[in-house]
Amino acid sequence: MFKRVIFVNLALICLGVILYADGTKPDVVKKQPVKKEAYRAVWQKIYGGKSDDVAYGIVALENGDSAIVGSCKSYGAKRTDMCVTRMNAKGEMKWRLWIGGKRNDFGKAITRSADGNLLLLGESKSFSKDYDYDLYVAKVSLDGKLLWTKTIGGNRDEHAGGIAGTDDGGAILVGDSESFKNGYKDIYIVKIDKKGTVVSEKAVGGERDEKATAITRTRGGNFVLVGSREFERSGDPDFFAMKVDQNAKVIWSKSFGGDDEDQLNGVCPTVDGGVVATGSTRSYGSEQTDLAVLKLDKEGKLVWLKLYGFKYYEYGNAVTLTRDGGYMVAGGTNTLGKGDHSPYFLALNAKGSLIWSHVYGDKGKDIMHGIARMSDGSLIAVGQSNSFSRSYDFYMIKLRKQ
């Protein structure tokens, strides 16, 4: 049954704030990529048409297959459509599906529902009554049939962050909303049932901007969402994480960071019930923006924080657990590599120590937005590239441990 939106003041639910007032400092790594070839690229693929096509999220399927969600302008899109593509283990396309209306519709995140089908999250203007962006969620079968779509939101813009399936066949959606305060963004959390009907929704925020960019299911069956939060006294966002249960009820909330802008973009579960998240920071002596990776235990306590950066901009957009209990981070750099921005990968062990890093791409702007571990233990990252055409194409890289 639909419930009225609940607004929650973030100051009332923040159970812990870590600002390194005790003098604790993160582990800052300022060196060139590790040359040890711990991983190798099995293949790299470019998919796209004459207009911009960008991949944002990926989920593993059976037999090494994967499903990728993104935003596409090519191949008959009405303007910009949410698009989903199924690939086999060789990176060959099995089918693709365009979803949307006459205006701009974007795909940002993908997961699997309890019945094994695909759940997609994005944002849409096509079906909004107020010509604003609403959350746009779709369910698609594994053979590429559209089962249903829903738009969710208020009378101002909502933007998509992440989606995770719940045990009852529904999902928890996260992002941000401008519908509940005067011009400020709030973290937006929505619980839907298996038919896409809103069960509950809440806006979580304070006196400045907050947003959720990703969500993952933990080993204990709960969920952790990550993003950023602005403190009134500084005006710069801090790292933010929140744990919720299957009904989107808040268990804990944490904010921490330095004196400048800190943001988390991706998150994955750990074997001990915690999470590892990645993003970017301008704090801690960063020359521009450094890539940040941190681990939280199941209670939200910061276990470690690692920073990787060079002269200009490095950032992590996604992270996944590797078969050996470590982590692979995917993002970008414009310090290293041939082009304007290049895909940047970091392999870390369970303690967060760097064991391998590599830069891919060519002379254009190439960035990774999502990564997932396949059923055979390999890793596939997805993103965008304009190195090989005038427009952006899907850029896919499959990695395997040596």
**327-338 pLDDT, tens per residue?**
999 999 999 999
**pLDDT above 50: residue 17:** no
pLDDT for the residue numbered 3? 43
**pLDDT above 80: residue 325:** yes
> What does the domain layout of the chain look like in residue ranges?
26-401
Question: Taking the CB of residue 185, how many other CB atoms lie within 10 A of it?
Answer: 26
Strands 302-308 and 27-29, bridge-based pairing:
parallel
Average pLDDT, the chain: 90
Cα distances (Å, whole numbers) of residue 367 to 268, 282, 362: 19, 19, 11
pLDDT for the residue numbered 22? 36
**pLDDT above 50: residue 13:** no
3-class SS at 64? helix
Cα distances (Å, whole numbers) of residue 18 to 10, 212, 221, 241: 15, 19, 26, 12
Question: Taking the CB of residue 351, how many other CB atoms lie within 10 A of it?
Answer: 10
When comparing pLDDT for 310 and 84, which is higher?
84
- The Cα angle at residue 304 between residues 366 and 233, in degrees rounded to 5: 80
Residue 315 CA to residue 293 CA, distance in Å, equals: 10
Question: Taking the CB of residue 9, how many other CB atoms lie within 10 A of it?
Answer: 11
- End-to-end CA gap in the chain: 51
Residue 279 in tokens: 């993003």
pLDDT for the residue numbered 32? 57
Average pLDDT for 249-272: 94
When pLDDT is cut at 50, 70 and 90, the band that residue 15 belongs to is very low
| Listed range (71-75, 79-83, 205-209, 291-295) with the worst mean pLDDT | 205-209
Residue 185 CA to residue 164 CA, distance in Å, equals: 22
142-168 pLDDT per residue, tens:
999 999 999 999 989 999 999 999 999
What single-letter DSSP state applies at residue 348? E
Cα distances (Å, whole numbers) of residue 207 to 105, 158, 227, 244: 29, 18, 16, 22
Average pLDDT for 308-337: 95
Residues 6+ apart with CB under 8 A from 50: 74, 391
Residues 6+ apart with CB under 8 A from 178: 156, 157, 158, 184, 185, 186
**pLDDT above 70: residue 243:** yes
Ramachandran region, residue 191 (left: φ > 0; alpha: ψ -120 to 50; beta: rest) = beta
> What is the CATH code of the structural domain delimited by 26-401?
2.120.10.30
Residue 214 CA to residue 211 CA, distance in Å, equals: 10
Q: Where are the beta strands (DSSP E) in 91-133?
A: 93-99, 105-112, 118-124
**pLDDT above 90: residue 205:** no
Please choose, from the candidates 202, 82, 80, 179, the residue with its C-alpha nearest in 3D space to the C-alpha of residue 130: 179
pLDDT for the residue numbered 124? 96
When pLDDT is cut at 50, 70 and 90, the band that residue 2 belongs to is very low
pLDDT for the residue numbered 5? 57
32-82 pLDDT per residue, tens:
556 678 999 999 999 999 999 999 999 999 999 999 999 999 988 888 999
